[in-house]
Amino acid sequence: MKKVVNEYQYNKELLKEFFWLYYKPVVILLFVLTILIILLSILFYDFNFAFLCISIMVCCLILSLLMPSRLAKLQYRRLMEQSNGKDVVNRVSISEDKIVIENTSTGNKVEYLISNIKKVKEGKNIFCLYTKARVGILLFKDGFISGTKDDFYSLLRSANIIKK
């Protein structure tokens, strides 16, 4: 039976990357839609509306670039409060049938069936597994203490979560 274990300590940079990975498709979609509206309004000679769209796009881009940092700070503060100021260290154990997330600081454990994983996203330093209930399970790329990144991929392939 294959098993991969990943361990990491939460920090603001890790959480910021997680939130950016989560919101990046929404930001790109809004940006593309706004560009399309601007082009259409210029084609129909409605320059006031084009200027309004440009203003809204700039505000949304500034907000979307600041949002992951703000959410990371809030989540980090919440995690520190829950662990009474101790560093929060998670250990994620992935086997062929389930994923166990253990907070080694508090001893809390949560289990998910591997069949509940809907998609996998890869960031610069993290992997994020998303469940059907929209829960994000974080893995640090350099945090494998048992198994490797290749073992992780083979587990996901055997569960038909990713192809090739």
Write the DSSP string, 5-51: EEEEE--HHHHHHHHHHHHHHHHHHHHHHHHHHHHHHHHTT-HHHHH
Model pLDDT for residues 23-68, shown as the tens digit of each residue: 888 778 877 887 888 787 778 777 777 777 778 778 777 777 788 8
pLDDT band at 102 (very low <50, low <70, confident <90, very high): very high
The verdict on residue 104 lying in a domain is yes
Task: Tell me how far apart the alpha carbons of residues 103 and 122 are, in angstroms, rounded to a whole number.
Answer: 22
pTM across the whole model: 0.76
The verdict on residue 46 lying in a domain is yes
- Confidence at residue 1, expressed as pLDDT on a 0 to 100 scale: 46
Q: Which of 42-51, 63-72, 74-83, 108-117 has the lowest mean pLDDT?
A: 42-51
Q: How high is the mean pLDDT of the chain?
A: 85
127-132-135-138 Cα dihedral, nearest 10 degrees = -10
Would you call 53 exposed, middle or buried from its count of C-beta atoms within 10 A (0-12, 13-18, 19+)?
buried
Residue 75 sits in which domain range? 12-82
Same domain, 52 and 111: no
Same domain, 102 and 121: yes
Same domain, 77 and 93: no
Last residue of a domain, one of 34, 60, 82: 82
Same domain, 134 and 147: yes
pLDDT band at 164 (very low <50, low <70, confident <90, very high): low
pLDDT band at 112 (very low <50, low <70, confident <90, very high): very high
Amino acid at 16: K
Same domain, 61 and 95: no
**Nearest Cα to Cα of residue 89 among 6, 4, 5, 8:** 8
- Confidence at residue 157, expressed as pLDDT on a 0 to 100 scale: 85
Same domain, 21 and 43: yes
Helix, strand, or coil here: 133?
coil
Task: Tell me how far apart the alpha carbons of residues 125 and 16 are, in angstroms, rounded to a whole number.
Answer: 11
Model pLDDT for residues 9-20, shown as the tens digit of each residue: 988 888 889 888
Number of domains comprising the chain: 2
Token code pair at residue 52: 């309004």
- Predicted confidence (pLDDT) at residue 71 exceeds the cutoff of 80: yes
Last residue of a domain, one of 58, 82, 106: 82
